[in-house]
Amino acid sequence: MVRLRPSIRLYPSGLPRLTLSRHTRFALLLILTAAVIEVFLHTQSWAVQQPDHELDEPFYTSCQEPAIGQPREKAAMVMLVRNQELMKALKTVQSIEKHFNQWFHYPIVFLNDEPFSKEFISVMNTTVSGEARFELVPKKDWLFPEWMDVADAKAAVKAQGEAGILYAGLETYHHMCRFYSGKFYTLEALKDYNWYWRIEPDVDFYCSITYDPFVEMAKHDKVYGFTVALPEEPRTCPSLFRKIADYKELNNIPTTELWKATVAASWMPWPLRSFMGWFRHRDRSGDGWSLCHYWSNFEIANLDFFRGKEYQRLFEYLDKTGGFYYERWGDAAVHSLALHTLLPSHKVHHFEDFGYRHDWYYQCPANAPNGQLLESKLLPVGPYSPEREGGIGCRCECDGSRTRNFAGYCTNKLKEPNTARRLGMVESVRSWFP
C-alpha cells in the first residue's frame, strides 16, 4: 500500500501547501491514467457502428410521373382537430391535396373529442379528393386513467403550469400526449388501415410528392418515417428516459444502434459514474439521454408495429407510472425512445425530399437539377424555386438555399446508424447551430 507522506511548507503568502512524495505522485498519475482509459473505453462502447453503405437513402431524388393506376396501400392520413381550428385544418388539407393527394386520393380521417360541426364536415367533404371520415375519440381514451387519483393528477398539472413548463398546465394537452402515445393505435376507426400519415392543422407542404410514400415504405421494409428531429424540452419529461431504460434492462432487450445514437455517454469514470444516475435524463448507470427525438406532428408509420404486443406492452408500462400527468411526457419523445428500443435502424426513414413546415420549424430541400419533369402534364406549373446542385426536391416552392431553420445536431445524431459517411470536426460543430 502506498502511504502518503505529506509535509507542510509555508510560502510567502503565509498559506500552507501540501507536497506529496514521488511515490504518491506516481500512484496518483497511475489512477488518473486508468480513469482516462476507462472513460475512453466506456464512451467507445456507446459509439455507433458505422455501416459500410448507406442504409437509408431518399426513395427518389427528382420528380416522378405520379403512378395514378398503381395499387394503393391500406393507409390513411389522420388529423386530430377541433371545430374551432377549421381554417387551420383547411390550410393543411389544401396544401397536402395540392402537393400529393390530388393524384393518390387517400382518405383523411379527422378525429375530435367532441362531435364535428356541420360546417367542418361540409368544408372538408368538398376539399378532400378521397374519402373524408369524421370520427369521435372515445371518452375513455381522453380522460384520466380509471386507476389514477384524479385530484392528485390535476394538482400536478396545475403545478407544472405554474412552473412555466411548456403546455404542461393544460389538461387536454396531457390527454392528447397520452392518446397519441398509445390509445390512438387501437382506435376502431383505424382498424382497417396498416399505415397512417399524421398531419396537423396549420401545416405547409412545399414540394410536390409525386410517389406514394406508403408503397415505398412497405417496399423498403420501413416502419417509421420523419422529417424533423429536435431536442426535447428537458423539463417536460425528467424521468422518461430512466423509465424506458429500466424497462429495457428488466426485459433484457438488446441495445440497438438507434439506442446508442440517442444516448449521451457519461464522461464520469467508474465508480463515480453511477452517482450520475441520481440526475434527470439518466439511466441507473449514469449515462444520459441526448434529448433528441423525431418531431411527431409529421410521421408516416406502420400501424401494425404500434398496435403490436411489444410496443403496447411498453406503453402500458409507461402509462402505469403516471408520467403522462405527473410530468408532461410528449408522444414524440415516447415514440422516439420506443423506436430506439425496439427497432433496427434501417427501418426508420428520413423524408429529406419533403418540404414541410409546422410552427416556426421547416425543412426545405433544394430542387433537383434536371429533375423537375418539365414535360409532365400532371405536375403543378409553378412557380417553384431554382434548381441547385445536390438538390433532391420536386418543384419545391421554398428557398432551397437553406434546407432547415433549426440545428442539424439531432437529425445527424439519429441518422448516424444509417449513414456510412461521418461528419468531420468542423461539420459536427456547425450542426449545433441553425
48 Cβ contact list (under 8 Å, min separation 6): 257, 260, 261, 416, 417
Give the three-class secondary structure for 405.
coil
Strand locations in 286-409, DSSP E? 288-289, 292-294, 299-302, 348-350, 356-358, 361-363
Q: Which of 232, 299, 327, 352 is catalytic?
A: 299
d(CA 163, CA 235): 10
Nearest one of 203, 165, 196, 181 to 361, comparing CA atoms: 203
Contact by Cβ (8 Å): 289, 263: yes
CA-to-CA dists, residue 71 to 106, 215, 334, angstroms:
12, 8, 33
Residue that is written with C-alpha cell 403545478 in the block? 159
Is 299 considered catalytic here? Answer: yes
d(CA 118, CA 122): 6
CA-to-CA dists, residue 413 to 51, 258, 294, 328, angstroms:
14, 9, 11, 24
CA-to-CA dists, residue 161 to 152, 232, 387, 429, angstroms:
14, 17, 46, 35
Residues labelled catalytic: 299
